[in-house]
Amino acid sequence: MSQKTLSRWLKFIISLVAACTIAVYSFFVCMIIWLSLLLWDSLPANKNFSSLFLDFLIEDKFIFIWPILILTTAIPIFIALIFAWKAATDIGKDKLYSTKNAKRLRNIAILSAIDVTWFFAANIVLLLFNFNHPSIVILSFFIVLLGTVISAVFSTLSHFTQKAAQKIQVSSTADII
């Protein structure tokens, strides 16, 4: 498989991941909109929206917190997809083993670790304040495990890419001398 073909396949896969991510996160955006409309419809004439919203939050244990928490985890994912797209572009230009790609892979690993840490910490905090169910926390461990594996894989790839880039740089300077 040529470098350009590999680059096209990687970009196709990155596009699919982005589309699936948008589809999943759209569900949570729709949930927030639906809950807002539900609140708006139940707005009495003598109350303003903010006081009703606060009453709703207190009574229903922060019903908006879950969709908002999930939406905040999208930020590192999309930044990582941008780094992956740039790395795939460099692969198409036959610049696979470069320090730029090693840094991009390291950044993806860091973003994955940040995302997993945030998700885990938020789940634990919500559990401690009794806004979360223990079974949800247990299920979220699988997501945390997946994110940790992704972080470890990209960290390893970054290390190998950096080593290969250094060897290529050393051999090219040795050829010049």
Give percent of the chain with pLDDT exceeding 90.
Answer: 55
pLDDT at 64: 66
Residue-wise pLDDT tens digits, 31-89: 777 776 676 666 555 555 555 555 555 555 456 677 778 888 999 999 999 999 999 99
Find tokens 């790609």 and name the residue: 101
Q: What is the pLDDT of residue 36?
A: 67
Longest dimension (CA), the chain: 84
User: Does the structure show a pLDDT above 90 at 131?
Assistant: no
Tokens of 125: 């905090």
Mean pLDDT over the full length of the chain = 85
Question: Residue 156: its pLDDT value, please?
Answer: 98
**Residue 17 confidence (pLDDT):** 96
How many whole angstroms separate alpha carbon 39 and alpha carbon 20?
29
Residues 6+ apart with CB under 8 A from 131: 61, 62, 65
For 89-100, write each residue's pLDDT tens digit.
Answer: 999 998 889 999
DSSP-assigned letter for residue 98: -
Predicted model pTM: 0.81
